[in-house]
Structure 1
Amino acid sequence: MREPFGARLATAMAATGPLCVGIDPHPALLDAWGLPDDAAGLERFSRTVVEAAAEHAAALKPQVALFEAHGAAGLAVLERVLRDAADAGVLSIADAKRGDIGSTMAAYARAWLADDSPLAADAVTLSPYLGFESLRPALDLARETGRGTFVLALTSNPEGAAVQHVGGTRSVAGSVLDAVARENATSAPHDDAAASSHVGAGTAHGVSCAHRDEIVTSPGPTPLGSCGVVIGATVGEALHRLKIDLEPLGGPILAPGYGAQGAGAEDLAAVFEHVRPAVLANSSRGILAHGPDVTALRDAIRASTDELRAHLS
């Protein structure tokens, strides 16, 4: 069986640092790279990012909508990009933000998480705002296939507060985080047999992780599982105001907003003070602006990785 996503992510972060590189082929970026806004330009752009990030980033996160915008040809490019990432040994997170009910959710789950799907990624982003349990087909299939999920919880876009902050200290976002914590807890081990790996290995604050059936565990009371959350890198004020405690979460935190969106590594360290080793920081434009030269992209990835290691380890 495939090793669970949480264990594979822990290994990747130990080896390369806590950086996820977004693959966001916006028309303006394609133009800046001297590429056409068509499937051919999309493919050249995306596969160049994979080439630059291989062995230097923990994960890649293609923005699915920007591939869908090119129709069937764009989705065919995404299939090839996901294969490239797998061949290069870098984890892929399909940023699809899927969320629905019943058989429709089951179909989304098969598309992104089934072994026989050409779009299968190592993990997928999900929206829980039809109710967390509506995601059950994806949560269960991810566990079955050793893949992961990242559930939208507390995002940095201004519109998100109208839903996520409702309830104050009993907020909607807090309820989503509680549900993710329960999801990871159901995979908690009941024995001590494990082989250890590390998030932030070799550092004083690295979390020691061990693969036990479905999860990666840390020395503390909270396991680090394969069900993660998306929390914006700039939401520190909201975390305090809503009195949200991230320590019981038990899963990885995908944190967009690092780099061009305004959050520095120091901000990440402050926002996620007590769970730093679980943070996977995403940078898109801040890295992609250095293309199309592969060497320049790789240098930008290495610089970001070094900065993140220094502040999150």
Structure 2
Amino acid sequence: MAVTTFGTRLREAMDRLGPLCVGIDPHPGLLDHWGLPHTAAGLETFALTCVEAFGGEVAVVKPQSAFFEQFGSAGVAVLERVLAGLRDSRTLSLLDAKRGDIGSTMAAYAAAYLSDTAPLRADAVTVSPYLGYGSLRPALDTALGTGRGVFVLALTSNPEGPTVQHAGGAGHSVAGGVVAGVTGDNAASAAARQLGSVGMVVGATVGDAVHDLGLDLAAANAPLLAPGLGAQGATAADLRRVFGGALPNVLASTSREVLSAGPDVAALRAAARRSADGLAGLLH
């Protein structure tokens, strides 16, 4: 039986619910804002409230793994419940783990997040290519086989990113090598006129970097996770400037702007809906 690709499922969700990815980022300031303790119990209340609010309401929900891991096994158990809850609500999950390694270790990460039986399985996971794009092959192949996706860091919005990602300059940059790898892995989907399942993370606040480095994001046929919306300051003009012809493939990511509406479930849901509705008009 043929497996429905992640790209196909993502496109359907974006068309139906809007191109929005809401993060579950229970950092200390938000726990305080919600009146919750900095404990595994506070984490659980926060995270499962988010699942209730966003399940079935937004295209993608993105738990940030580090905020769960910091509570040890109890936090990882909460993360398992979050991912299970998103599956139950038929909402695509993107686990923000930014894993990157080589050989059997990368294969183990792939099994942990992208296999059909893993307790921490998600619909997609973020990965880091800075041990070489080829080092991601175990994750890419596992995702292809199970109908899941990966989002590869390409041009991130942190100030340290350009020292690595821009290295080599236009036509030869590290980021360009990532884009080329993703383009190749999505070629079959492009030929079938379907959105690819290998995505990229490209910050909405990277300015002219895409143009200056000569990157063709549209040709990559990749879902483009775009952090930086809302609290980080990205505007509609920024999205057009950065993504150009690739705008229809952009999945804009926001966390604090929506999460600050909590802890009321209805208020969280309404904040997410406003963001999704606004993006739907902007990106299409």
Equivalence for 2:250: 279
Structure 1: tracts of 5 or more residues without a match: 190-211, 218-222
Runs of 4+ off more than 4 Å: 186-189
Determine which of 176, 179, 198 is the counterpart of 1:177: 179
Equivalence for 2:268: 297
- Verify the 8 A CA contact 1:265 1:307 in the aligned structure 2: no
Equivalence for 2:31: 30
Equivalence for 2:94: 93
Distance (Å, rounded) in 2 between the aligned partners of 1:188 and 1:307: 28
Are 1:249 and 2:220 an aligned pair? yes
Superposition deviation, residue 2 in structure 1: 3.9
Equivalence for 1:236: 207
Matches within 5 A, 1:43-192: 43-169=44-170, 170-187=172-189, 189=191
Query: Greater shift after overlay, 262-271 or 298-307?
Result: 262-271
Equivalence for 1:198: none
Distance (Å, rounded) in 2 between the aligned partners of 1:104 and 1:60: 26
SS in 1 for 2:257: helix
- The one-letter code sitting in structure 1 at the alignment partner of 2:176 is G
- Verify the 8 A CA contact 1:23 1:46 in the aligned structure 2: yes
Superposition deviation, residue 44 in structure 1: 0.8
Superposition deviation, residue 38 in structure 1: 1.1
Are 1:310 and 2:274 an aligned pair? no
Superposition deviation, residue 187 in structure 1: 5.0
- The one-letter code sitting in structure 1 at the alignment partner of 2:30 is L
SS in 1 for 2:162: helix
Q: Give the direction of change, closer, same or farther, for the CA distance of 1:160–1:11 in structure 2 (3 Å limit).
A: same
Distance (Å, rounded) in 1 between the aligned partners of 2:47 and 2:236: 25
Distance (Å, rounded) in 2 between the aligned partners of 1:147 and 1:265: 29
1:210-242 CA-to-partner distances (Å, cap 9, x unmatched) read xx6xxxx2xxxxx52100000001113111221
SS in 2 for 1:234: coil
Distance (Å, rounded) in 2 between the aligned partners of 1:127 and 1:186: 23
Superposition deviation, residue 36 in structure 1: 0.9
Matches within 5 A, 1:216-231: 217=193, 223-231=194-202
- The one-letter code sitting in structure 1 at the alignment partner of 2:271 is A
Superposition deviation, residue 296 in structure 1: 1.0
Superposition deviation, residue 273 in structure 1: 1.8
Structure 2: tracts of 5 or more residues without a match: none
Distance (Å, rounded) in 2 between the aligned partners of 1:71 and 1:151: 26
Superposition deviation, residue 244 in structure 1: 1.5
Distance (Å, rounded) in 2 between the aligned partners of 1:46 and 1:72: 16
Superposition deviation, residue 183 in structure 1: 0.8
- The one-letter code sitting in structure 2 at the alignment partner of 1:120 is R
Distance (Å, rounded) in 2 between the aligned partners of 1:51 and 1:265: 29
Distance (Å, rounded) in 2 between the aligned partners of 1:247 and 1:228: 12
TM-score normalised to structure 2 length: 0.96
Distance (Å, rounded) in 2 between the aligned partners of 1:271 and 1:177: 15
TM-score normalised to structure 1 length: 0.88
Query: Greater shift after overlay, 38-47 or 148-157?
Result: 38-47
Q: How many residues align?
A: 282
1:55-95 CA-to-partner distances (Å, cap 9, x unmatched) read 32100000001111010000000000000001111100000
SS in 1 for 2:244: coil
- The one-letter code sitting in structure 1 at the alignment partner of 2:44 is E
Distance (Å, rounded) in 1 between the aligned partners of 2:189 and 2:224: 18
- The one-letter code sitting in structure 2 at the alignment partner of 1:181 is T
Q: Give the direction of change, closer, same or farther, for the CA distance of 1:227–1:17 in structure 2 (3 Å limit).
A: same
Distance (Å, rounded) in 2 between the aligned partners of 1:153 and 1:188: 20
- The one-letter code sitting in structure 2 at the alignment partner of 1:98 is R
Cα RMSD between the aligned structures? 1.2
| Percent of aligned pairs sharing the same letter | 61
Determine which of 207, 231, 240 is the counterpart of 1:269: 240
